[in-house]
A and B are shown apart, each in its own frame.
Chain A
Amino acid sequence: MSEQYVVMKLGNEFYGASVMQVISIERMMNISQVPRTLSYIKGVVNLRGTVTPVIDLRERVGLTRNGQESDATRIVVTEVNDMTVGMIVDAVEDVVSIEDGGIAPPPPVVGGIHAVYLKGVAQVGDRLLVILNLEKILSDVELEQLQEVDRQVRG
């Protein structure tokens, strides 16, 4: 058995999201900011009549380098546990199949709290694909919010 993954580009790294969890891929659109929320929540968009929140995936998984919006920038709309969320990525490359067992645990260089957002890494052709744990990425908002408050309190 194998599963298919959408390959997304962040800087010069590649990330994979299971096609089962991806609803659509959209061109960049006008985002309305939601004030006073987490910094990686970029706002909400009008996705064919549904108000959909959009997050910056780069910021969400803890990458430090900033991206530049370009023609290739996409919003990958995912649905996990009845939550629909768009993720901004630098580009979407293609869809690949990965055999069961083709995913290895993430290497120890990825440390700290951000490691939980990664399911593992897979070798696809000559590329290394980091497989995302979308359940975790989308479900920990509350926890994050608390940490944010904590940061604000401590300054």
Chain B
Amino acid sequence: MDISQYLDAFLAESEDNLTTLNDLCLQLEQQGAEDSIFAAMFRVAHTLKGMSATMGFTKMAELTHRMEDALGYVRAHPEVFQPSVVDIFLAAVDALTMNLQSIRDHGQDAHLDHGGLLAQLAAVMAGNEQPAIQKAASNGLSADVFEKLRELRRDGLTVGVIEIELSSSCVMKGVRMVMIMRAIEQFGDSLACYPEASLLEEGEFEGPVQIAVVVNGASISDVMAAIADITEVETVREIDLDAVAASSQSEQHSAQSAAAPEQPAAASTATPVSGRGREQTLRVPVGRIDEFMNVLSELVIARTRLDLLAQQSGDPALREVSEQIGRLSENLQEGVMNMRMMPVEALFQRFPRMMRDLQKSLDREFDFEMTGLETEMDRTIMDEMGEALVHLLRNAADHGLESPDVRERNGKPRRGKITLSAYATGGHIYLEVRDDGGGIEREKVLQSAVKKGVIAPEQAKGMSDEQVFELLFASGFSTAQTVSDISGRGVGLDAVRGKVNSLGGTIRIESKVGEGTAFIIELPLTLTILPAMLVRVGEELFAVPTANIEEVARVDASDLEWVHEHPVVRFRDKVVPVLDLGDKFFGRTCGEQHPWNTVICKDGKDYVALTVTEIVDELEVVNKPLGRYLANVKMFSGATILGDGQVALILDVREVLQLGA
């Protein structure tokens, strides 16, 4: 069989399943040995096993198989459950994730060795071996199934519940059960069974089995006779449907899962425990949406052009059509943007696990909370933010929080708290990592900065708290007393800022000594289409992103003040340097006569007033990359094609600010 065409679907689904499994492990740890969690885990492991075996990935199939065994065992023996079991399951999830990566990269997993883990999983069972497998609390189909059957009987169908017991010497119970199921299928269908179908197929059961059947053109006794013919079937008997009373509310749930044994595991796992509804979704490769986005960009450009022509012609009918097309393309644009948006949950879901592991490896105790999981964010930006968030979270656990003893001494609860939140407001997305730790100590930062030569000692005195926090982002800066395993590697805060900046965002710190620290990241909603102001510098047109613009001002000679021969203006109590773009870009000033046309721009806390020849228009532009050849050009974040086909470069205000420095 050619499996390659299914590979993508397999990878995507397995990834989802592993994520679910991971979440379930964490729930298991918090809530203890809950049967519903085990059941959900079992189903996922079973699905993974089935899929990987079908695809011929033997190592993955073997590991999931053992995992399933162990899960089945712990489920049947909740008394053997202990926290270390979760660790083993989590290790298995990690190994499977790695396994999946190997399949993605090399198309196979034959070279992997899960030997150690297999042994550990086996030990979960062997170490707690007990001769007699105890029966679960209930020992038959739930009352709801009986109720359903009675309903079907009223509708005139032939239904019944058959109880089967295999001989105690039967060695391949799973095989026998499959044969029994086949026998039933000759006469009709099995509606439900106890224990679950997956357990039956694996032979993971003891005692009598109950199967609810509906038959066409035959009687229940025909079915029973066929089953009795199968070797090693000890007893077959029919259970009286009216003997079991209607259900109580508490059994509702088990009845549902029992009544639909064939339901795909992936769909049913998330619902019982997370309790959040799932929308119908369609998997589309990101590349396809990007292609669509490109075409849409062309449309936006053509639309701008049509707009221009319509205005020039002065024909009212043409203008009307042009406006209508404008509105339609805006709707379309919004639609595709929305398609690219995903709930941040997709990014956040791996963090609870990470934070759990951190607690174990660091001398820290804390609760980790996430809010705003439904906040939507551009997929591309989200992918880029992963590593930065990992760093900030590790930082919060390692440097933000004090050790439990220190916390106690300072009159705080031993357990700290770290919160990761997402929210959207005013065309921006905010991501916040907050801890209730010791806060940033100004003096410590300053000492360290002076020692490392980042600032001069005399500079330190006059710095505001904000400026001091800024120092943390300077490259090669760290206030940690000891370089720990956790935060001492990977990206530093300077890299976090670099990443955020490259996405057009900003990051800032809020901190109070003794109360905690927050890192707040502000990101644009999307990258490709942005509102901008078109300005002319000499002969050339440039686009300035509106997000960076504070105000457009005409500056007269009397508005200017001078600092060390550089012109500055006052804007909102700030002294803002004036930069002549004509001079900086082409060596020909734009400010031959007053008043100067200036655009006051802001990036983070920094302001600059850019003098341009003329302010042309305000419009939406499509950000097109400059391409690999111009990758070194930092002054412009991209270019856009205007209505008349001309190219205008898009200013990167952050870089332009450096020109004044």
Question: A residues engaging B (CB < 8 A)?
Answer: 30, 32-37, 41, 43-46, 49-53, 81-85, 138, 141-142, 145
Contact = CB atoms under 8 A, between A and B. Distances in A.
B586 A46 contact: no
Given A30-B646, A34-B649, A35-B584, A51 B629 contact: no
B639 A83 contact: no
B585 A82 contact: no
B648 A32 contact: yes
A46 B641 contact: yes
B282 interface: no
Interface in B597-639: 624-630, 632-633, 635-636, 638-639
B540 interface: yes
A41 B647 contact: no
B624 A50 contact: yes
Contacts of A51: 624-627, 638-639, 641, 647
The 3 closest A-B pairs by CB, nearest first: A35-B585, A32-B647, A51-B639
Contacts of B649: 32, 34, 44
Contacts of A45: 647
Contacts of A138: 629
Given A32-B649, A46-B645, A37 B630 contact: yes
22 contacts: A30-B646, A32-B647, A35-B540, A35-B585, A36-B585, A37-B630, A44-B647, A45-B647, A46-B641, A46-B646, A46-B647, A49-B301, A50-B624, A51-B624, A51-B627, A51-B638, A51-B647, A53-B630, A83-B627, A83-B628, A83-B629, A142-B632
A120 B173 CA distance: 78
B298 interface: yes
Contact of B636 (A34, A49, A52, A85): A34
Given A32-B648, A33-B586, 11 more contacts: A30-B646, A33-B540, A36-B633, A36-B635, A37-B632, A37-B633, A45-B647, A51-B638, A53-B626, A83-B627, A141-B629
A41 B541 contact: no
A71 B424 CA distance: 55
Interface residues of B, number: 26
B630 A32 contact: no
B630 A41 contact: yes
Contacts of A35: 540, 584-586, 635
Interface centre among B627, B629, B632, B645 (most CB of A within 10 A): B629
A30 B647 CA distance: 9
Contact of A53 (B585, B627, B648): B627
A141 B632 contact: yes
A50 B348 CA distance: 36
B583 to A, nearest CB: 11
A81 to B, nearest CB: 8
B107 to A, nearest CB: 25
A37 to B, nearest CB: 6
Contacts of B639: 32, 44, 51
Nearest to B632: A145
Nearest to B648: A32
Contact of A44 (B586, B626, B628, B635): B626
Contacts of B645: 30, 46
Contacts of B632: 37, 141-142, 145
B214 to A, nearest CB: 62
Nearest to A54: B629
Contacts of B630: 34, 37, 41, 44, 53
A141 B633 CA distance: 11
Nearest to B537: A35
Nearest to B636: A34
A54 to B, nearest CB: 10
A33 B122 CA distance: 69
Contacts of B540: 32-33, 35
Contacts of B638: 51
Contacts of B629: 53, 83-85, 138, 141
A83 B631 CA distance: 10
A52 B625 CA distance: 9
A49 B646 CA distance: 10
